[in-house]
Amino acid sequence: MDIKLIQAQIENDLAAVTSLQALEEVRIKYLGRKGLLAELTGSISGLALEQRGAFGKEVNVLKNKLLSLIEEKGKFLKKSGSVEKKENLDVGLPGIAQELGGLHPITQVINEICAIFTRMGFSVVQGPEIETEYNNFTGLNIPLEHPSRDAFDTFYLKNYPKLLLRSHTSPVQVRAMKAHQPPLAIVVPGRVYRPDAVDASHLFMFHQVEGFLVDENVKFSDLKGILELFAKSVFGQDIKMRFRPHFFPFTEPSAEVDISCIICKGSGCSVCGRKGWLEILGAGLIHPDVFKQVGYDSKKYTGFAFGMGIERIAMLKYGINDIRLFFENDLRFLKQF
Ligand code: PHE
């Protein structure tokens, strides 16, 4: 008799079993006193001496296998209440609905911001999170001695001295300008990395949206107009904006941009540190040295650039006081968006 065939037959029989009673019938068919296994064992004495050992072993293995399969099936049937209780099926019970997933709040804010800019004619472009030192710093006119190049402020790749985890989305300016000629209007959402100690307002990874536009005759007032439209779309029509002089190596002039505090409307509260203003982004006119790096004629073209932290915008928009909430995967938090 072919042991393999018998095993296949057993597995077939077991697969068809849907009740403890049927399982017992299968058990008797194979393991009962007159069952197939008993028959096989009985046939051993009729074999040639040298065949007995091997055959006996095979029969034993089959028996053990069968015992464990039956036990497993028995457990399964008991657990699932077996189909014997079919009569108790309540067809009036409400079904089990499939829960719908949702977009992460950071993704939602990124989509909202990108939609505002695409309505104004910007294209959405992405860049790699592993960048070259050149694109992240040199191409952006950030000098070798600049503190942001320090290993305390940037993650370098251990065995690749010229590669790093981008510390901002600005390197995509260099990539896009090298790949395309003006006019250019681009927004770049994406992750950035900085070795900051984690607390309520810092993580080692966060998201930015970069924006830049290059053409003939682009003026600072174009930047102001576009950013005002952006801020009002995100935070409401009554929001006020102000530009404070600042410094970035890749823009000149540069500014930090504040909106009037959305909590106290400018009168001063704990969220804005009694200042009445909240910083939301950095911006400026693209530095002629950046144009030189990418091979643009800085006599012919001007442009502006800005960059904002998405977690910060989302925290302000929704009144969230701890950045870590975004990445703890706590559904009680995430389901609110
Ligand atoms: N890359 C700057 C930062 O991460 C923000 C910025 C972008 C400033 C573009 C000016 C122009 O802080």
pLDDT tens for residues 255-313?
A: 999 999 998 988 999 888 899 999 999 999 999 999 999 999 999 999 999 999 999 99
Q: How many domains does the chain have?
A: 2
Which tokens hold the place of 182? 């003006």
**222 and 165 share one domain:** yes
Examine the fold and report which residue of 87, 113, 141 is the final residue of a domain before the chain moves on: 87
Same domain? For 175 and 220 the reply is: yes
Number of neighbouring beta carbons within 10 Å of residue 123: 14
pTM over 0.85: no
Q: Give residue 33's domain range.
A: 3-87
d(CA 161, ligand 1 centre) in Å = 24
Do 110 and 254 fall into the same domain? yes
Q: How far is the CA of 164 from the centre of ligand 1 (A)?
A: 17
269 CA to middle of ligand 1, Å?
27
Give the atom of ligand 1 at the shortest distance from the alpha carbon of 307: 7
Tell whether 118 and 242 lie within a shared domain. Answer: yes
Report CA Rg, the chain. Answer: 35
Q: Is residue 308 part of a domain?
A: yes
Q: Is the CB of 306 under 6 A from ligand 1?
A: yes
Q: By the 8 A CB rule, do 135 and 175 touch?
A: yes
Residue 92 lies in a domain: no
Query: What values do phi and psi take at 185, rounded to 5?
Result: -140, 110
DSSP letter at 236 equals: -
State whether 61 and 197 are in the same domain.
no
Nearest CA to ligand 1 atom 10: 283
- Same-domain check for residues 64 and 209: no
Same-domain check for residues 165 and 314? yes
Question: pLDDT for 19-64, tens place per residue?
Answer: 888 888 888 888 888 888 888 888 888 888 888 888 888 888 888 8
Residue 305 domain flag: yes
Q: How far is the CA of 252 from the centre of ligand 1 (A)?
A: 12
Considering the domain boundaries, does residue 93 fall inside one?
Answer: no
Q: Is residue 112 part of a domain?
A: yes
Of all protein residues, the one whose alpha carbon is nearest to atom 7 of ligand 1 is 307
